[in-house]
Amino acid sequence: MKSNTHQAADTNPFKNAPEIFQRIRSEVTVISFDLWGTLFDDRALRTDRMTFRERRIRYFQRALREAGVRIDYGTAKDAYQHARQVFDDYWRRQQAFDADIGMDAMLKFVGAAIPEPIRQNIIRYFQTVVNLVTLRMYPGTREAIHRLAGRYRLALISDTGWTPSWVLREQLRRNDILSCFALTIFSDETGVCKPHPSMFARVTDHFHVRPEQCMHVGDIPFTDLLGAKRAGFYAAWIYKPELETEITSESAPDWVAHSVAELTEDLMA
């Protein structure tokens, strides 16, 4: 077992304790995963030369123009950012949010009333634009998930926003890992988002296991680590140096790795 792989070539101050990892290896039978930033690369995604964010903003501007409402790109961009702030408010309250909520926020921001069919067309575009490509997984992640599925029962716990659960399941299928998960949990289907305890309780209920038999793997301290620790799960952090300051005593991870591939090497050693 590699007990210090997370320390290579960076300033990560977290020290993995081999005795804790021995308990993880002996007790854990179920592993749940976050999606964005853990399995799928959450950096700016592009189709051709344009990010999905830019495509949504320009589509919103064009659709409003067709409905007789003219706004410039900067205003459309500000409306999109406003929707993000609304999403963040829901997230902090651990309430699910989706494209309907985001679209209402954008339309209210620009003071536009448009026909419902046009509104629905914009929502549909915002939801499905990512399917123009197959989302990237981090290197080695697909192979790691398949390896882990041979030893552990796997679940996915993901918050959603503009991109709904049915689109994300399609992306999991395209990446050939959907079948590896015996359970997929998405906030747009549960009505709450991480770190709400019910998101994690669904794992123990589905697999009929105790919390200490579960480990959750994710990158965001507030949602993944805090949620897992409060639920009684072990928490493995996919290390993001920019999020170090968000770690608290309550969300301190039990294990730290740079990637799912690295974590898998530790688990399967």
Q: What are 149-193's pLDDT values in tens digits? A: 999 999 999 999 999 999 999 999 999 999 999 999 999 999 999
Same domain, 161 and 100: no
Whether residue 30 contacts residue 234, with contact meaning beta carbons closer than 8 Å, is answered with no
Q: Which of 132, 157, 177 is the last residue of a domain?
A: 132
Same domain, 103 and 163: no
Looking at the chain, the whole-number percentage of residues with pLDDT higher than 90 is 87
* CATH number where 21 lies: 3.40.50.1000
Q: How confident is the model at residue 50 (pLDDT cuts 50, 70, 90)?
A: confident
Structurally, the chain folds into a number of domains equal to 2
Same domain, 16 and 89: no
Same domain, 172 and 264: yes
Q: Which of 83, 110, 132 is the last residue of a domain?
A: 132
Residue 88 CA, distance from chain mean position: 14
Same domain, 11 and 56: no
Same domain, 113 and 140: no
Q: What are 217-247's pLDDT values in tens digits? A: 999 999 999 999 999 999 999 999 999 999 9
The residue with tokens 């009333």 is 113
Same domain, 104 and 224: no
Same domain, 149 and 261: yes
| 3-class SS letters over the chain | CCCCHHHCCCCCCCCCCHHHHHHHHHHCCEEEECCECCCECCCCCEECCEEHHHHHHHHHHHHHHHCCCCCCHHHHHHHHHHHHHHHHHHHHCCECCCHHHHHHHHHHHHCCCCCHHHHHHHHHHHHHHHHHCCCCECCCHHHHHHHHHCCCEEEEEECCCCCCHHHHHHHHHHCCCHHHCCEEEEHHHHCECCCCHHHHHHHHHHHCCCHHHEEEEECCHHHHHHHHHHHCCEEEEECCHHHHHHCCCCCCCCEEECCHHHHHHHHHC
Domain span at 111 = 46-132
Same domain, 149 and 104: no
CB count, 10 Å around CB of 68?
Answer: 9
Whether residue 215 contacts residue 237, with contact meaning beta carbons closer than 8 Å, is answered with no
Q: Which residues, listed in sequence order, are joined to residue 192 by a DSSP beta bridge? A: 95
Same domain, 121 and 157: no
Q: What are 57-103's pLDDT values in tens digits? A: 999 999 999 999 999 999 999 999 999 999 999 999 999 999 999 99
Q: How confident is the model at residue 45 (pLDDT cuts 50, 70, 90)?
A: low
Degrees (nearest 5) of the Cα angle 72, 75, 79?
A: 140
Q: Which of 132, 158, 182 is the last residue of a domain?
A: 132
200-209, 244-253, 260-269: range with highest mean pLDDT? 200-209
Q: How far is CA 244 from CA 11, 34, 155, 249, in A?
A: 11, 18, 26, 12
Same domain, 236 and 202: yes
Same domain, 101 and 169: no
